[in-house]
Amino acid sequence: MRSKASQVHARGQFKLGRLILLAIVFLIVVYAIYSLAFPSVITVSSAQSLSLGQNQTVFMRLYNSSVVALTLTSSSASGASFSLGAVPLLYSSMVSFTLTPSQSMSVSAFGMQSADMNIVLTSSSGTGASVEITPLHEVLGVGVSPGVSISNPSSLSGVASANVTIVVPQSTSSVASTTTVKPQNSSQTEVAKAMGLINSTGTGVLMNNYAKLYAKDPGCNASTYNSTYRTYHGSAPPAPVDFANLSQVVPRSLTVNASVSSGPNVAVVYKTAAPSSSSTGAALVAIVNTSSSSFLSSVTYTGVYYGLNYTQLNSTYAFQSKILNACAAYVTP
């Protein structure tokens, strides 16, 4: 017969075992809830087209690694309304805005004065809407468009409303970038690290945006270009910038090659391609030091970007990104 002490010890062991089992069950439940609440996130590093149904939410990761949630709150043939906020929504400002077809707005998911994305409503109906989202780096200083309303966190209630359906992307990879990395006799690890670093900067975001923009160029024709130019400049394009000339020099694509140059330094070269050799070749060369906190050692503009700088290119892209047809890269401010 067991002593009283041994019986007490056995009961204690049983209670401890139950507590451990309950803790494991609790962790499993918490993990399941977390998985449902935080689905896969789309990385938006360049202009990206998205379609949403009524009350659907898409989670997006911006160039600065912040995750934001875009919800389509209502839509019809005449327009669509959205809400936007940084995750977690409970502690963030909520941005609300309404767009009509083909209208664009510059907005900040954090309720700031400088926009971090431009959103164009490309189509809308009673069942859903499609948008094109272009990330804007904060150093561009694009102001938030009029008509955007911001609610403070204290005014939010029922954020996790049951009628909001979460859209889970098919892939967690970066679906927005159209550039490709081709390491040349270099460490794959260093090249991948360098590309991750440069894609977090305004330079990387801008180049990814231009890659998306140039990909539309083959669809441009003289008729569309002439009407677009007239819309933005009020007259027909003069001979120096007519379609015949521009179609030879406007880039048709932008790709990126990366290779280790020396030590932790990786040379990232963005190249354009066009019918004319003058617009084909290196356009921007960046040296990335993967072991330094100030990793962007140098940026050189050459080729089709010769004589320009980041501010000028960013300003031009901000203008061109609002043109929805295939001739966007052909028209400058």
For CA atoms 189, 193, 195, 196, the dihedral sign is positive
> What does the pLDDT read at residue 176?
34
Average pLDDT of the segment spanning 166-190:
41
Are residue 270 and residue 138 in the same domain, yes or no?
A: no
The token pair at 197 is 């670093």
- Is residue 58 domain-shared with residue 142, that is, in the same domain? yes
Residue 162: per-residue pLDDT: 27
pLDDT band at 197 (very low <50, low <70, confident <90, very high): confident
- Read off the pLDDT of residues 295-305 as tens digits, 9 standing for 90 and up: 888 999 999 99
pLDDT at 326 over 70: yes
168 band by pLDDT with thresholds 50, 70 and 90: very low
The answer on 153 and 271 residing in a single domain is no
Whether 229 has a pLDDT exceeding 90, the answer reads yes
In 3D space, the residue among 190, 181, 71, 179 whose CA is nearest the CA of residue 128 turns out to be 71
If asked whether residues 192 and 122 sit together in one domain, one would say no
Predicted confidence (pLDDT) at residue 12 exceeds the cutoff of 70: no
Based on the fold, state whether residues 87 and 205 are members of the same structural domain: no
148, 242: one domain: no
Say yes or no: 144 and 210 in one domain.
no
Does 171 fall in a domain?
no
Q: What is the pLDDT of residues 179-193, one digit of tens each?
A: 334 444 445 678 888
Contacts 24+ apart (CB under 8 A), 274-282: 274/248, 274/249, 274/250, 274/304, 275/247, 275/248, 275/249, 276/248, 276/249, 278/249, 278/304, 279/248, 279/249, 279/250, 279/251, 279/303, 279/304
Classify residue 256 by burial, with Cβ atoms within 10 Å: 0-12, 13-18, 19+: buried
- Residue pLDDT, tens place only, 74-103: 999 999 999 888 776 554 568 889 999 888
Please give the order of strands across the beta sheet that includes 104-107. 48-53, 128-135, 117-124, 104-107
pLDDT at 166 over 50: no
Q: Number of structural domains, the chain?
A: 2
Q: Is residue 30 part of a domain?
A: no
Same-domain status, 100 and 218: no
166, 201, 219 — which closes off a domain? 166
Alpha carbon of residue 277 to chain centroid: 31
Q: Any idea which residue has 């927005």 for tokens?
A: 176
Query: d(Cα 136, Cα 116) in Å, to the nearest integer?
Result: 5
Confirm whether 183 is domain-assigned.
Answer: no
Residue type, 27: L
pLDDT level of residue 257 (50, 70, 90 thresholds)? confident
More confident residue, 291 or 12: 291
Which two tokens mark 188? 């794959």
User: 105 and 159 in one domain?
Assistant: yes
Q: pTM to 2 decimals?
A: 0.52
Answer whether residue 262 shows pLDDT above 70: yes
Average the pLDDT over each of 15-19, 107-111, 244-248, 256-260 and give the range with the smallest value: 15-19
Report the chain's mean pLDDT, rounded to a whole number: 77
Q: The tokens 């898409």 sit on which residue?
A: 58
- Amino acid (one-letter) located at 26: F
Q: Rounded to whole angstroms, what are the CA distances from 260 to 186, 248, 249, 287?
A: 5, 33, 31, 9
Residue 181 domain-assigned (yes or no):
no
Same domain, 88 and 138: yes
Q: Indicate whether 213 and 159 sit together in one domain.
A: no
pLDDT digits over 120-151, tens only? Answer: 899 999 999 999 888 876 655 677 888 888 76
Residue 270 resides in a domain = yes
In a domain, 23, yes or no: no
Residue 173 lies in a domain: no
Tokens coding 83: 């809400």
228 burial class (0-12, 13-18, 19+ CB within 10 angstroms)?
buried
Contacts 24+ apart (CB under 8 A), 330-333: 330/217, 330/220, 330/225, 330/228, 330/229, 330/243, 330/246, 330/247, 330/250, 331/225, 331/228, 331/229, 331/232, 331/233
Share of the chain above pLDDT 70, in %: 72
pLDDT at 152: 52
Is the same domain home to 101 and 139? yes
Q: What is the CATH number of the domain that holds 130?
A: 2.60.98.10
Q: Which domain holds residue 54?
A: 42-166
Tokens of 109: 């998911």
Residue 141: count of CB within 10 angstroms of its CB: 14
Q: How confident is the model at residue 230 (pLDDT cuts 50, 70, 90)?
A: very high
Instruction: Say if 1 falls within a structural domain.
Output: no
